[in-house]
Structure 1
Amino acid sequence: MTTIVLVRKNNDVVVASDGQVSMGNTVIKKTANKVRKIEKRNVIAGFAGSTADALTLFERLESKLEKHAGNLTRAAVELAKDWRTDKYLRRLEALMAIADKEKSFIISGTGDVLEPEGDVIGIGSGGNYALAAAKVLMDGDKSAEDIAKKAIKVASEICVFTNDNLSMEKI
């Protein structure tokens, strides 16, 4: 279980996650990093789901970005198509929140590539709590980074599968 929040504000894009890894009702690790940055393409991604699945999808996203010259929209659609139709990938259970300087998407194994209406995405077990908190904070003068931190903190106080050990990437 995971909480990922993506916040886009004032030309900054931040993806933040909690650090908790759970198996059933047991906390296995408190300091996992569920956010990655593809430096070469200036893309950041957060993963909700199993670690092996997330790493597999991150590698696929990176190869799609290379293939499509950094075009995030095209890479996201191609990854979603593969995820939905490939016999191996179809079994992966995860969600991804990805962004570059211009666009943000949620990608799922059902073939969804969703662009949010606002400038905030929340996924994972505490994603809706983080999303609600971030949406409220967007109206103030807080930075994208501060909003993401506070959103994860709020989610950690409500969702038993979320802690407040923060990992964050910013572009």
Structure 2
Amino acid sequence: MRPQNPIKATTIVAVKREAEVALAGDGQVTMGDTVLKHGARKVRRLYQGRVLAGFAGSVADAQSLADKFESKLESSAGNLTRAAIEFAKEWRTDRILRRLEAMMIVSDGDKLFILSGDGNVVEPDDGVAAIGSGGPYAAAAARALLRHTSLSAREIVEAAMRIASEICVYTNDRFTIETLPANRSSG
């Protein structure tokens, strides 16, 4: 059973363009129709700063998932694909983890995945990934900018977040943006 005033999801968007991946998240945390916080940090670096992760959903759940995912990165020596698959399997089958209400976007600069508790590990075809209540708005804006401009990945996620914040009431205009260069040695 869900709480009466569930914490609303956020907006996280990632874009992979040429030699860069950018990941952005807004800072708003809400409960029901009340804004609890304006400057939450929902995007962070993991695994010695070599992996970006963005979280949508309950803060406590997202923190638990981040810790668990980072341990999978450690045990796979930083192999993002292997860590994502092992993490998704455990998330789906573990009695406690599968109750967590959150989603993640992760990237190592080469690979970009959306992870969810139902076991999905999705690598988008077009280099755009978005989650959270404002995710569809940010994804649409990012796709248009990716196709019709020469903006950098960072510029695209910033513009996409700005557009989402103008549409989605659960998304504000206080963004955290992180970028990673593509790792040319991984093939």
**Fold match, TM over 0.5?**
yes
What is the alpha-carbon root mean square deviation over aligned residues? 0.9
Pick aligned residue for 2:14 from 6, 31, 34: 6
Task: Provide the rounded CA distance (Å) in 1 between the counterparts of 2:130 and 2:104.
Answer: 10
Task: Provide the rounded CA distance (Å) in 1 between the counterparts of 2:178 and 2:150.
Answer: 20
Runs of at least 5 residues in structure 2 that lack an aligned partner in the other structure: 1-8, 181-187
Contact 1:41–1:65, Cα closer than 8 Å, also in 2: no
1:31 matched to which residue of 2? 39
Following TM superposition, by how much is the alpha carbon of 1:73 offset from its aligned partner in structure 2, in angstroms? 0.5
Matching of residue 123 in structure 1 with residue 131 in structure 2:
yes
Give 1:143's aligned amino acid: S
Length-normalised TM-score, structure 1: 0.97
Pick aligned residue for 1:49 from 54, 57, 64: 57
2:24 matched to which residue of 1? 16
Task: Provide the rounded CA distance (Å) in 2 between the counterparts of 1:82 and 1:168.
Answer: 29
Following TM superposition, by how much is the alpha carbon of 1:169 offset from its aligned partner in structure 2, in angstroms? 1.1
Length-normalised TM-score, structure 2: 0.89
Matching of residue 88 in structure 1 with residue 96 in structure 2:
yes
Give 2:165's aligned amino acid: S
2:74 matched to which residue of 1? 66
Following TM superposition, by how much is the alpha carbon of 1:121 offset from its aligned partner in structure 2, in angstroms? 0.5
Following TM superposition, by how much is the alpha carbon of 1:102 offset from its aligned partner in structure 2, in angstroms? 1.3
**Structure with greater Cα Rg:** 2
Following TM superposition, by how much is the alpha carbon of 1:159 offset from its aligned partner in structure 2, in angstroms? 0.5
Q: Deviation per CA, 1:30-77, whole angstroms, max 9, x where unpaired?
A: 110000101526100100001111111111111101101111011001
Percent of aligned pairs with the same residue? 55
Contact 1:8–1:14, Cα closer than 8 Å, also in 2: yes
Pick aligned residue for 1:153 from 162, 168, 172: 162
Partner of 1:138, secondary structure, is helix
Task: Provide the rounded CA distance (Å) in 2 between the counterparts of 1:39 and 1:141.
Answer: 31
Aligned length: 171
Following TM superposition, by how much is the alpha carbon of 1:101 offset from its aligned partner in structure 2, in angstroms? 1.8
Partner of 1:110, secondary structure, is coil
Q: Deviation per CA, 1:104-131, whole angstroms, max 9, x where unpaired?
A: 0000000111110111101100000000
Partner of 1:40, secondary structure, is coil
